[in-house]
Amino acid sequence: MKVPCPMTPNALNPLSLADADAVVALFRAGAKACREAGCRRGSIELIRAPGRLIATGDLHDHPMNFKRLVEIAGLGGDGPAHLTLHEIIHPPNLLNGVDYSYRALARVAALKAEFPEHVHVLLGNHELSQIMGAGIIKDGVKVVDAFNAGLENVFGADAPRVLEAIGEFVLAMPLALRCECNKPDGSRGIDILCSHSLPGLAMMQRFDPSVLSRELTKEDYEPRTGAAHIMIWGRGYDAEQLEDLVERWGVNLFILGHEKAPEGAAFVAPNAVVLNTDHEKGVYLPVDLSNPPTPVQAMERVVRLGDG
C-alpha cells in the first residue's frame, strides 16, 4: 500500500527541513512505509522477477550520487527499478564540525513513503548506532555527537522529538532485501541478498541465522549479542562462511556495503560483491532479475556513477 508523503509528492523537491513538525512527519511516514510495504516479510523485504534492481553501497550523505541513483532508478516513471539505499548518514565533510545529514535521511524517508514497493532502505550500522547512542569515531570525528549537534543547532528544544522519530524510522528498516530471480523460461533461478553486511567470522557462533525468517526483536539490536547488530557490523567473512550461509539461506549472490572499496567495488570469493557509493569512484550494480548475473559477472557489470 502506498503511504502518502506528508510534505511533497517528490522527495527531491526542496523541503522545509528545518521545521520539526514536518520532519517528524516525514520520518514517521517512512517508518510506516517500511512496516506496511507489501514486499515486507518479517525482518526483510522480498521482491521477485521480473524487474530491475539498482543495488548500491554505503551512501554517507553524498548528495550528487543520491540524486543520480534516483534518476537511474526512474522513480516516478513507468516501470521504475527497485533501489536499495543504506548507510545514509555521517558524511566525511562536516560544516564547522557539525553533521546535518538528518536531511539526507529525511529525503530517503520521503522517498520510501512515496515508493514503498520500489525503494528498499536497509538497516546500516551508522543509523543503528546513532539512535542507540553508541560511539563511533570516523576519521577522528565522534559522528554520533556531530549528528546530535546538527539536530540541536536546527531544532533546539525539539531535537529530542526529531531524534525519536528518526529512531522510529531506523527500527522499522528491513535487515535485507531478498530477490528471487527466475530464469527466462520461468523456472527458479538464483537468489540474491542485499544487506549492509554479513556476520564476521569471529561472531558466527553467537549469530542467530534464523533472523531473516522472523520478525526482529528488541534483543536483536543489542550490541555484540543481537543478530541484527552482529550482521550489520560484520567484517572479515571468508569463503567457508559464505558457503555456509548459502546452505542456510539458499542465497547465491550477496551484494553488500560496510567494507571500504577504494575503487568502488570489491569481490569476496566465492559469491559476495562489496559496493561503495559514497565517494568520487562510487558505484552501483544494475541487475535484471529475470537474467541475474553470477558473482563474477556481477563484478564485471558494476557501473561507476560518474560514467553511467
- 188 pLDDT band, cuts 50/70/90, is low
The reply to whether omega before 295 is within 30° of 0 (cis) is: no
Rounded to an integer, what distance in angstroms lies between the CA atom of residue 215 and that of residue 42?
4
Look at residue 64 and tell me if it is in a domain.
Answer: yes
* Per-residue confidence (pLDDT) for residue 205, from 0 to 100: 86
pLDDT, residue 183, reads: 64
Residue 28 pLDDT > 50: yes
Rounded CA-CA distance 76/195 in Å is 25
Q: Which residue has the higher pLDDT, 224 or 161?
A: 161
Residue 76 is predicted with a pLDDT of 82
Length of the chain: 308
Closest CA to 29 of 139, 108, 90: 108
pLDDT, position 187: 63
**pLDDT number for residue 128:** 97
Does 286 fall in a domain?
A: yes
Q: Find the helix or strand (DSSP H, E) in which 78 lies.
A: none
Q: Specify the pTM.
A: 0.93
pLDDT at res. 219: 96
Residue 42 lies in a domain: yes
Q: Which segment of 9-23, 40-54, 279-293 scores lowest on mean pLDDT?
A: 9-23
What is the mean predicted confidence (pLDDT) over 76-103? 93
**Is residue 8 domain-resident?**
no
- Number of domains, the chain: 1
Instruction: Give the long-range contacts of residues 8-13, CB within 8 A, separation 24 or more.
Output: 8/110, 9/114, 10/76, 10/114, 11/70, 11/107, 11/108, 11/110, 11/111, 11/113, 11/114, 12/67, 12/70, 12/107
Residue range 193-217: mean pLDDT, rounded: 93
pLDDT tens track for 105-155? 999 999 999 999 999 999 999 999 999 987 777 777 799 999 999 999 999
User: pLDDT tier at 87 (50, 70, 90 boundaries)?
Assistant: very high
Q: How confident is the prediction for the chain on average, in pLDDT?
A: 91
Do the strands 265-268 and 40-41 form a parallel or antiparallel pair, or are they unpaired? unpaired
Q: Is 40 part of a structural domain of the chain?
A: yes
Which pLDDT does position 184 carry in this prediction?
A: 62
Assigned domain for 7 exists: no
Question: Is residue 5 pLDDT above 70, yes or no?
Answer: no
pLDDT, mean of residues 247-271 = 95
CATH number at residue 254: 3.60.21.10
As a whole number, mean pLDDT of residues 287-302 equals 95
Tell me: pLDDT of 2 over 70: no
pLDDT at 34 over 90: yes
Share of the chain above pLDDT 90, in %: 77
Q: How confident is the model at residue 64 (pLDDT cuts 50, 70, 90)?
A: very high
- Model pLDDT, residue 185: 64
Domain that holds residue 275: 20-304
Please tell me which of 69-78, 156-165, 290-299 the model is most confident about, judged by mean pLDDT.
156-165
Confidence (pLDDT) at 171: 98
The grid cell for 300 is 564485471
Q: Which of 45, 48, 44, 85 is nearest to 211 (CA)?
A: 44
130 pairs with which residues across the strands? none
Contacting residues for 153 by C-beta, under 8 A, at least 6 apart: 98, 100
Instruction: Answer whether residue 11 shows pLDDT above 70.
Output: no
Question: What is the average per-residue pLDDT within 217-226?
Answer: 94
Q: Is residue 10 part of a domain?
A: no
Q: Is residue 89 part of a domain?
A: yes
